[in-house]
């Protein structure tokens, strides 16, 4: 049996907006995660092999070299079924949440991010996250 230590939990953030990336790194780190990041699909694919495994992926829909949905589908083709959160200002058609996937409409608040990760992650979030959510506003 493997016991999960929140300090060993890694999340990959794929986002090309530096301001949003900086916010996500700061918040997720304060919630006890190790955060790796990539700004394109190409670097995200390399990150999976270089830095994985990840407990979850948080990915922008619109990236310089393609769609975050393509990255999600590629992960599934590789039989990598980690929780995946897709972020975007607009997606047509709307995407449906599942036990391993959810969508955040930009702009979103940190309470929404917290709720999505709490639902998707098998071990949930560390208890300390409530303080970090409110402190980040």
- The whole-number pLDDT of residue 37 equals 97
Confidence of residue 129 (pLDDT cuts 50, 70, 90): low
- Give the domain CATH number at 85: 3.40.50.2300
- The whole-number pLDDT of residue 125 equals 85
CB 59 within 8 A of CB 36: no
| Domain contains 77 | yes
| Domain contains 36 | yes
| Radius of gyration over every alpha carbon of the chain, rounded to an integer in angstroms | 14
| Domain contains 104 | yes
Domain range for 35: 7-126
User: In the chain, how many domains are there?
Assistant: 1
Element (H, E) at 36: strand 34-38
| Domain contains 84 | yes
What pLDDT, in 10s, does the model give residues 6-56? 447 999 999 999 999 999 999 999 999 999 999 999 999 999 999 999 999
What pLDDT, in 10s, does the model give residues 87-115? 998 776 667 888 899 999 999 999 999 99
- Around Cβ 136, how many Cβ atoms within 10 Å? 15
- The whole-number pLDDT of residue 122 equals 87
| Domain contains 132 | no
The share of the chain scoring above pLDDT 90, in percent, equals 71
| Domain contains 28 | yes
| Domain contains 93 | yes
pTM of the model: 0.86
| Domain contains 38 | yes
């Amino acid at each position: 049996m493997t016991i999960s230590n929140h300090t060993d939990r890694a999340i990959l953030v794929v986002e090309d907006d530096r301001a949003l990336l900086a916010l996500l790194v700061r918040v997720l780190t304060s919630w006890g995660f190790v955060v790796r990041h990539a700004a394109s699909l190409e670097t995200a694919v390399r990150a999976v092999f270089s830095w994985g495994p990840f407990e979850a992926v948080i990915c922008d829909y619109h990236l310089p070299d393609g769609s975050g949905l393509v990255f999600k589908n590629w992960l599934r083709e590789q039989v990598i079924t980690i929780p995946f959160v897709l972020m975007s200002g607009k997606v047509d058609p709307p995407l449906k949440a599942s036990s391993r996937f959810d969508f955040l409409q930009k702009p979103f608040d940190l309470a929404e991010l917290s709720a999505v990760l709490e639902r998707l992650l098998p071990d949930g979030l560390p208890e300390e996250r409530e303080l970090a959510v409110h402190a980040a506003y």
